[in-house]
Amino acid sequence: MPDSKSDSVPNPSYGVRPGEVAIDLPAVPDEGVYFIGRIHTPWRRREDCPKNARESDAVCTVEVGEHYAAGLAGVETCSHVILLYWMDQARRDLVSQTPRHYGVPRGTFSLRSPARPNPIALSVARLLRVEGPTLSVIGLDCLDGTALIDIKPYFASVDAVPDAVVGWHADRKG
Amino acid sequence: MPDSKSDSVPNPSYGVRPGEVAIDLPAVPDEGVYFIGRIHTPWRRREDCPKNARESDAVCTVEVGEHYAAGLAGVETCSHVILLYWMDQARRDLVSQTPRHYGVPRGTFSLRSPARPNPIALSVARLLRVEGPTLSVIGLDCLDGTALIDIKPYFASVDAVPDAVVGWHADRKG
């Protein structure tokens, strides 16, 4: 079992802040992911991205690779889709982190920060239209050029929990 | 660009049905994922798993690896979490598939089938408690021993869309 440490800075632009804890990651991954497309957004720099996806009404496009485009049949009937994408600029070794806008250290799995062992982000996006291999959506917050790894239909019956609470966040606002 | 084909059966237990289309996958993945824990459920065989997660009230447990357990701080304040897990028995090469219970071929990205280029499943689970590295949850549908790849807090403000519609599914029921 590797030791925790708080002084490793694999990517200098994402340094360790007070209260943050970095771990050694395994030498080899367990499985591999394919990039199946690219997401195009208006945001070219991290600091320009909306802090959360509902903050912006920007129309973004999702370009699915030609090879995978047949998989879109039926997606045009969905009002909303779940997009999974790979945050390749995020560090993967933080188990405790201190988001700038909160200022308090929290466990990685209680946050939606892109920095996590598997830097897979998830957004529920409103689907405007599908044209060939291109989806137009509202509700993303990622950098232009982000790699897409999955598109799923959003089923309100299993995915919508309007009364769900994230206690630490509610307490913060309350 | 590899050709589509419908006769390859990499895993005989997941054969190609009428209307299904398999593609050649890239030779090497673009990125790697780490398994960060294991999910324990009552289901040992595919045919025993609930067809969707809201069909079952079974309490399942999620064991996070010791190495990552510090990342759980704060998760105990969440009423619901999003779990991402790796469906290692699913084939990855189908872009069109015919789920047995629908009987009609559809694009992979309009389905929640585990068979997809990146076999990452997503469930919104109700969190009962966190004890050390172990979460007890309701709302999973996967096989016992499934590999965990992420835990995220569920924020109703961005994740809940109660009026979302999957048109092909609604038409089917209507």
pLDDT in tens, A43-100: 999 888 887 777 788 999 999 999 999 999 999 999 999 999 999 999 999 999 998 8
Residues from chain A that touch B138, judged by Cβ atoms under 8 A, are none
The ipTM of this complex is 0.90
pLDDT of res. A3: 39
pLDDT at A8 over 50: no
* B78 interface with A at CB cutoff 8 Å: yes
Distances (CA, A) of B49 to B53, B58, B102, B114, B151: 9, 11, 17, 12, 21
- How far is C-alpha B110 from the geometric centre of its chain's CA atoms? 14
* B57 interface with A at CB cutoff 8 Å: no
Residues from chain A that touch B31, judged by Cβ atoms under 8 A, are 29, 32-33, 35, 86, 88, 147
* A5 interface with B at CB cutoff 8 Å: no
pLDDT of res. B9: 43
Average pLDDT over chain A, rounded to an integer: 89
pLDDT of res. B86: 98
**Percent of residues, chain A, with pLDDT higher than 90:** 75
Q: What is the mean pLDDT of residues B128-132?
A: 98
pLDDT of res. B10: 47
pTM reported for the whole predicted model: 0.90
Is A166 in Cβ contact with B155 (below 8 Å)? Answer: yes
* A84 interface with B at CB cutoff 8 Å: yes
Residues from chain B that touch A68, judged by Cβ atoms under 8 A, are 23, 95, 109, 117
Residues from chain B that touch A86, judged by Cβ atoms under 8 A, are 30-31
- Choose between B105 and B4: higher pLDDT: B105
pLDDT of res. B5: 40
- The pLDDT confidence band at residue A174, using thresholds 50, 70 and 90, is low
